[in-house]
Structure 1
Amino acid sequence: MGVSEEFIEELLFTQKDDMYAFSLLALLFPNLDYKNNEFHKDHLHPAAKFKNLSEDLQQKHGWRTYNSLKNLQMLDANENMSKNDESLADWVSKETKLKDRISFLENHHIPDVDLKLENFDEYIEQRAEILAARLKSILA
């Protein structure tokens, strides 16, 4: 018995407020100290920026993709509040000034691509591939 591509794709479309979102994100981010810290489900590209996507990207991906695991991560509550509505590109740049960028991206399952909102198409495709591979390895 195996995990099908369709099942993984369905999991990737789990929405932020879905009852399984926290559990799935905890599987994807197992190294966080869930016992002693409070964590938030966080949009990598902030929810407030969805309206800034081009009309084409909004129609192609829609809120269903933007609000799914494909664009979510687990962040410490304090880190999430300091990130606020900062763009993904700016947040990664700020966070990696004193850290190794590649390790940071890998730890957050973020593809090493142009992270500006205008490049949402490439980002979301590659992030979905990263998360799908991770879920397959966990659930296999």
Structure 2
Amino acid sequence: LWQEHLYAMDALREGVYLRGYAQKDPLIEYKTEAYDMFVELMANIKNEVLNNLFRSTSNLQAFENFLATLPQFLLREHAPIPLTAGAASRARQPQPVGAMASAAGDGDGAGEVSIDLPIRRSIPKVGRNEPCPCGSGKKYKNCCGRVA
């Protein structure tokens, strides 16, 4: 299936330039057609896998047991790792760089992950052409912004 998909992609690449004569962007046309072909490929693969799976089942009871355990297996496989209460409270509070280095060197083996939050401005950013916040009446770019 995937080999046929690659041949079809080559044919699409060779023929998509003709869409430019129809006043359509060939790159956009190629992207949309390629995505549609990829979705079709994935659907064909799923159908093929299910078809082979259903044909290969000889023991109905064993197959039903397999289907019953499948969702539990997938839930265990893709479950997110829960944070402990201490790690969750530390993740909400930003830490200075020195504190992060010392926390990393503790060696307690807990394996907790700290999340760095972005730093927020206390006052809004001053634009170049706005009046300077120092009160001189000049534009920021001609006053304090010249230094920065």
- Structure with higher strand content: 1
Kindly name which structure, 1 or 2, has the bigger radius of gyration based on alpha carbons: 2
Q: Normalized against structure 2, the TM-score is what? A: 0.20
By relative contact order (CA 8 Å, sep 6+), the higher-ranking structure is: 1
What TM-score results when the alignment is normalised by the length of structure 1? 0.21
